[in-house]
Amino acid sequence: MVQDAERNAERWARDVRTIRVIGTGAMGRGIAQLAAAGGVTAELADVRPEAVVEAVEYVSGMFDKLVAKGRMDAADAAAAKARLRPVGEPLTPFGECDLVVEAVREDMDTKRELFAALEKAVPAGTVLATNTSSLPVTAIAAPLTDPSRLAGLHFFNPVPLMRLVEVIAGARTAGWIPDALAALVRRLGHEPVHAPDAPGFLVNHAGRGLVTETMQILSEGAAEPVDIDRIARDVLGLKMGPCELLDLTGLDVSHPVMESVWTGFYTEPRLRPSRVGRARMEAGLLGRKTGEGFYPYVDGVKREPAEAAVPGDAERRPVWIHAGDADRARARGRRWARCCRRPGSRWSGRTRRPAGRSCW
Ligand SMILES: NC(=O)c1ccc[n+]([C@@H]2O[C@H](COP(=O)([O-])OP(=O)(O)OC[C@H]3O[C@@H](n4cnc5c(N)ncnc54)[C@H](O)[C@@H]3O)[C@@H](O)[C@H]2O)c1
């Protein structure tokens, strides 16, 4: 049994040769790319056989692009491609397999059912990991005969570029596994951080301040998505605004995360998701993956509306105020205020200076 093994985390990570990635959507294909580039054979599996074919083509194309840009050696790319192994169904009989990384849809029942079936099919020493964004790792592992073999391994999108990876121990995870997964993450060139098994872990909890708040701003009609994104980029200095991020992640992923973080913190008001998010998700306005989200996408390229001119800019002529002018204007204002307060003054009670009366 995995929990009985006296294992050395560093040695385990160094010896990992094969991982199986189950669910080859946006995340699974990125995890497969990272593994294959890092010298690990990546078996790709999905309930939809066509998703596996698409993922292998996609990742191979990514390696070709890296070669074309001079960021990867052609021989290394060929070797990495050879380490992509499409296996089809998730339960296709296992050979040697050190780790299974689950990246299927964000739904507790789906993940639990998959791990229950996997537990019976994987070799005894195989470690199980979930890439869940927000579901409790402890709860995913709870129905397993041996919950100690499962931990959270939370990559971010796009996986090859986002170097941070959260490693999460569930309440029953064997003590050596989080360290071993962290060592594997380092071997693959990414940066692990141990995170608590709390709703949203670290990053998606902190991130509520950006995306959940954005959805509230949108539902109040206070600003358009494009304006929120521009402010986030230009003022906060973010590379990507929250609406662009939601389009990249997919609202079918992000909205359930907002809901599960909110319920996970016992319906904490400041984490409450917006009705607009659910409505948009149900309408299929998911983002890049459906060609339309907060922005339309044509051939995968975002179409952003032109920035509106600042109102009145064109008509107004620039005004130059000399420091002396400003002092004189302030003094005039003080004289006018005194005059308004003086009993019996013809200007008493007036709050605006009459037009044309500029000298006091
Ligand atoms: N998209 C993101 O930005 C992001 C970031 C971090 C973590 N995650 C998490 O990663 C997981 C996957 O997200 P994604 O964005 O890649 O989703 P996705 O919709 O792009 O891909 C999910 C894949 O899983 C497959 N699938 C569904 N049920 C399955 C099952 N029972 N067995 C095997 N395959 C199954 C689907 O066919 C699909 O190909 C989710 O838990 C999500 O919360 C997503």
315 part of the active site: no
- Average pLDDT over the chain, rounded to whole? 91
Which pLDDT belongs to residue 172?
A: 98
pLDDT for 315 equals 64
Tell me if residue 204 is catalytic: yes
> Has 131 been annotated as catalytic?
no
pLDDT value at position 14?
A: 96
With 60 as the cut, is the pLDDT of residue 102 above it?
yes
Mutate to test the pocket of ligand 1, among 112, 134, 253 (most ligand atoms within 8 A of CB): 253
Helical ranges in the chain per DSSP H: 9-15, 26-37, 49-68, 74-82, 108-121, 137-141, 176-187, 203-206, 208-219, 225-234, 242-249, 251-264, 275-282, 323-341
Average of per-residue pLDDT across 70-93: 98
The set of protein residues with a Cβ atom below 6 angstroms from ligand 1 is 22-28, 46-48, 51, 90, 103-106, 110, 114, 131-133, 155-157, 249-250, 253
How much is the pTM?
A: 0.82
Atom of ligand 1 nearest to the CA of 155: 6
Residue-wise pLDDT tens digits, 182-208: 999 999 999 999 999 999 999 999 999
Query: Could you tell me the CA-to-CA distances from 54 to 11, 28, 31, 78, 231 in Å, in that order?
Result: 34, 12, 15, 18, 36
**pLDDT at residue 3 in the model:** 47
How much distance in Å is there from the Cα of 131 to the middle of ligand 1? 8
Best probe residue, ligand 1, of 105, 114, 156, 205 (max atoms within 8 Å of C-beta) = 105
The predicted structure's pLDDT at residue 323: 67
Of 318 and 108, the structure prediction assigns the larger pLDDT to: 108
Q: Identify the pLDDT of residue 318.
A: 66
pLDDT band at 359 (very low <50, low <70, confident <90, very high): very low
pLDDT over 50 (residue 1): no
312-355, pLDDT tens digit by residue? 666 666 666 666 766 776 777 777 667 666 777 666 666 555 55
* CA 133 to centroid of ligand 1, rounded, Å: 10
Does residue 190 have an active-site annotation?
Answer: no
- Is it the case that residue 295 has pLDDT exceeding 70? yes
Q: Which atom of ligand 1 is found nearest the CA of 106?
A: 41
Whole-number Å distance, alpha carbon 45 to ligand 1 midpoint, is 12
Q: pLDDT tens digits for 136-173?
A: 999 999 999 999 999 999 999 999 999 999 999 999 99
- The pLDDT, as a whole number, for residue 206 is 92
Distance separating the N- and C-terminal Cα atoms of the chain: 92
Q: What is the pLDDT of residue 352?
A: 59
Distances (CA, A) of 295 to 213, 224, 243, 246, 287: 19, 11, 8, 10, 7
- Rounded to an integer, the average pLDDT of 96-125 is 96
For strand 301-302 and strand 297-298, is the pairing parallel, antiparallel, or unpaired?
antiparallel
Q: Which atom of ligand 1 is nearest to the CA of 114?
A: 31
